[in-house]
């Protein structure tokens, strides 16, 4: 069993696809994860499994790998202790989680935007242009910059969980770029396609950060580091002045607009 602990989860899943069922039971979504090269031994720590859950999960995986014999489950050394499941974020992480809420509110309106998509008229196109401005300015320059320029720098950037985050951000940027090109060509289908893909990507991405990445990071931060992070985030907030407030108003108005549309229907 020991040798499998040092294998990437992707390799194990390729060889033993049934392992996916065991992982799913513990809400470990390695299959949809774009990288999937975390080592099996790191997974229990990243996903905050309690020691008894870790033993159960490892026993189930061992049964898939060695169906004909009993194997000893090796103890996995962790850098940080498992914490209770109820997520309570440190103040800087709470800031990021709150920013996700505004991004999720825009993302939640994507189906409505697609249903009302008009790439021909100026006001119709403006809805998408304003949305792209929100993503680029709020989600990317403001929120993702806090993650990329500050938060992620505290960790080993060769870790797969960190690489996945960068990769998701890059994929998001590519969809936005493609949306603009499609809008320019008045290609309605392509605009919808990239809006859909962005919704899917960001929904998964935010869930990954809220439920796995941030709690794992919090478990690894000292109180001093948390204070330092908080003041660096405040510095970023100052840089952006009243822009976050303006984007919140933008979202409020957009929600109102779609609600009004709903009432008219
Ligand atoms: Fe992110
Ligand atoms: Fe985020």
- What's the pLDDT tens digit per position in 227-237? 999 999 999 99
> 44 C-alpha vs ligand 1 centroid, how far in Å?
22
> 27 C-alpha vs ligand 2 centroid, how far in Å?
20
> 71 C-alpha vs ligand 2 centroid, how far in Å?
40
d(CA 21, CA 15): 14
Share of the chain above pLDDT 70, in %: 91
> 206 C-alpha vs ligand 1 centroid, how far in Å?
7
In this predicted structure, the answer to whether residue 73 has a pLDDT above a threshold of 70 is: yes
Q: Which ligand is nearest to the CA of 171?
A: 1
> 103 C-alpha vs ligand 2 centroid, how far in Å?
9
> 200 C-alpha vs ligand 2 centroid, how far in Å?
14
> 83 C-alpha vs ligand 2 centroid, how far in Å?
22
> 199 C-alpha vs ligand 1 centroid, how far in Å?
14
pLDDT at 265: 42
Distances (CA, A) of 181 to 68, 111, 132, 187, 194: 57, 20, 12, 9, 11
d(CA 207, CA 233): 21
Q: Which residues are close to ligand 1, an ion, with C-beta < 5 A? A: 147
Question: What structural domains and CATH numbers belong to the chain?
Answer: 2-65 (1.10.3910.10), 91-264 (1.20.120.520)
> 143 C-alpha vs ligand 2 centroid, how far in Å?
6
Q: Which ligand is nearest to the CA of 97?
A: 2
d(CA 253, CA 265): 19
> 96 C-alpha vs ligand 2 centroid, how far in Å?
6
Note the pLDDT tens digit of each residue in 147-190: 999 999 999 988 888 999 999 999 999 999 999 999 999 999 99
d(CA 106, CA 139): 10
> 140 C-alpha vs ligand 2 centroid, how far in Å?
9
In this predicted structure, the answer to whether residue 4 has a pLDDT above a threshold of 80 is: yes
In DSSP terms, which residues pair with 39 in a beta bridge? 8
């Amino acid at each position: 069993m020991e040798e499998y602990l040092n294998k990437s989860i992707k390799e194990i899943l390729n060889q033993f696809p049934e392992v996916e069922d065991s992982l799913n039971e513990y809400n470990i979504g390695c299959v949809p994860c774009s990288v999937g090269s975390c080592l099996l031994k790191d997974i229990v720590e990243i996903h905050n499994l309690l020691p008894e859950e870790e033993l159960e999960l490892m026993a189930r995986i061992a049964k898939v790998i060695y169906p004909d014999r009993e194997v000893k489950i090796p103890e996995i050394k962790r850098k940080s202790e498992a914490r209770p499941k109820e997520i309570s974020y440190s103040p800087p992480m709470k800031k990021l989680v709150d920013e996700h809420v505004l991004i999720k509110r825009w993302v939640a309106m994507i189906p409505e935007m697609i249903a009302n998509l008009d790439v021909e008229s100026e006001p119709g196109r403006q809805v998408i242009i304003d949305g792209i401005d929100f993503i680029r300015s709020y989600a990317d320059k403001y929120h993702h910059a806090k993650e990329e320029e500050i938060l992620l720098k505290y960790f080993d950037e060769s870790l797969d969980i960190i690489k996945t985050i960068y990769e998701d951000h890059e994929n998001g940027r590519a969809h936005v770029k493609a949306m603009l090109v499609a809008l320019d060509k008045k290609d309605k289908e392509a605009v919808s396609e990239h809006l859909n893909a962005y919704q899917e990507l960001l929904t998964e991405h935010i869930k990954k950060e809220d439920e796995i990445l941030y709690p794992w990071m919090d478990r690894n931060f000292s109180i001093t580091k948390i204070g330092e992070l908080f003041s660096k985030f405040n510095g970023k907030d100052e840089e952006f002045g009243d822009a976050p407030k303006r984007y919140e108003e933008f979202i409020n108005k957009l929600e109102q607009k779609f609600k009004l549309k709903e009432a008219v229907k």
